[in-house]
Amino acid sequence: MTTIDEVLGLEQKTEELPPLGRPHVKKHPTETGLVEIENVSVEFGGQVRVVEDASLTVNPGEFICLLGPSGCGKSTLMNCVAGFVRPSMGSVKVDGEEIFKPGQDRGMVFQHHSLFPWKTVKENVAFGPLMAKKGRTEAESIARTLINMVGLSAYENRFPNVLSGGMKQRVGIARALANYPNVLLMDEPFGALDAQTRSMMQENLLQIWGEFGTTVIFVTHDIDEAVFLADRVVVMSASPGRLIADIPVGLPRPRTAEMVLDSVYVETKRMCMEYIRSESLRAFAKQSMH
């Protein structure tokens, strides 16, 4: 029979997550990581409008969840911040600089891991710092720090194929943080994980974020995930995606699993559900008209 620890990828259960605030982790000054999305529209092929007039300011160190129904343009808007997609109109600035291409100031984590299968966990995480012209010793030291932070020290010399889905995503997070980005962009990073692993990953992510102070933009279609993680939940409408609500989450930090029973949590979730439900119904009605 499979044990719960195996399901959670917790084979090394004696290893505690490292304590917060260790001195060798570079905490970002909270002046960096300002994201300004101004009147962004995206059209593909010059005609299909996917994102419509999106404006959003994310403050340094803030944790924002971008919530919306599938296909509404969340990844497209996120990819404008990443520099993979150029807006057809409007602009995206990070720390005052307009974004034209990907850069080390922005780390990305995707739904499906994108680790190099021929590199070990440590080599995968050290890859970014090496590309940034860090020496091998420094790159490996950074990699070890981050691998420790995501609780995978016992696996640093293993290859991705021996890791569970959750563990691979933890390596993905370590890798995205290895260049100490000002902004961490996460596109449904836990979407393919089972519920228990996902909830553990969410807590681990918040712990790491608490330590780094990096701005996070986290895309999800899962209302519970958005409310549990975010300082603000920004709701996107069905296609073409517009930003229709900006809902502050008045829950204290650190967030704990019991908070899902808190009346503030329930009320915030209810508000999000109303927006999402009306948008999903609208999308459904629109699809049936064609």
Cβ nearer to Mg ion, comparing 85 with 178: 85
Cβ nearer to ligand ADP, comparing 71 with 165: 71
Pick the closest to residue 25 from 186, 170, 144, 176 (CA basis). Answer: 144
Distance, CA of 140 to CA of 179 (rounded, Å):
12
The single residue listed with the structure tokens 């012209």 is: 133
Cβ nearer to ligand ADP, comparing 44 with 116: 44
CB of 109 vs ligand ADP, minimal distance in Å: 14
CB of 34 vs ligand ADP, minimal distance in Å: 23
* Site of interaction with ligand ADP (CB under 6 A): 44, 50, 68, 70-76, 239
Strand ordering across the sheet containing 232-236: 106-109, 183-187, 215-220, 63-67, 232-236, 243-248
Cβ nearer to ligand ADP, comparing 75 with 215: 75
Which letter does DSSP use for residue 17 in this model? Answer: P
Distance, CA of 275 to CA of 56 (rounded, Å):
18
CB of 239 vs ligand ADP, minimal distance in Å: 6
CB of 28 vs Mg ion, minimal distance in Å: 27
Cβ nearer to ligand ADP, comparing 72 with 205: 72
Residue 143 contacts which entry, ligand ADP, Mg ion, none (Cβ below 5-8 A, type-dependent): none
Tokens describing residue 174: 């370590």
Q: 282: Cβ–Cβ under 8 A, 6 or more apart, which residues?
A: 237, 238
Contact indicator for 214, 33 with CB cutoff of 8 Å: yes
Cβ nearer to Mg ion, comparing 75 with 145: 75
Q: Which residues pair with 235 in a beta bridge?
A: 67, 245
Give the chain's radius of gyration (CA, Å). Answer: 19
Residue 68 contacts which entry, Mg ion, ligand ADP, none (Cβ below 5-8 A, type-dependent): ligand ADP
Which letter does DSSP use for residue 81 in this model? Answer: H
Residue 70 contacts which entry, Mg ion, ligand ADP, none (Cβ below 5-8 A, type-dependent): ligand ADP
The secondary element (H helix, E strand) that includes residue 90 is strand 89-94
Q: Which of residues 35-94 bind Mg ion (CB under 5 A)?
A: 75
CB of 41 vs ligand ADP, minimal distance in Å: 12
Which letter does DSSP use for residue 44 in this model? Answer: E
CB of 218 vs Mg ion, minimal distance in Å: 12
Residue 50 contacts which entry, ligand ADP, Mg ion, none (Cβ below 5-8 A, type-dependent): ligand ADP
The residues binding Mg ion (CB under 5 A) are 75
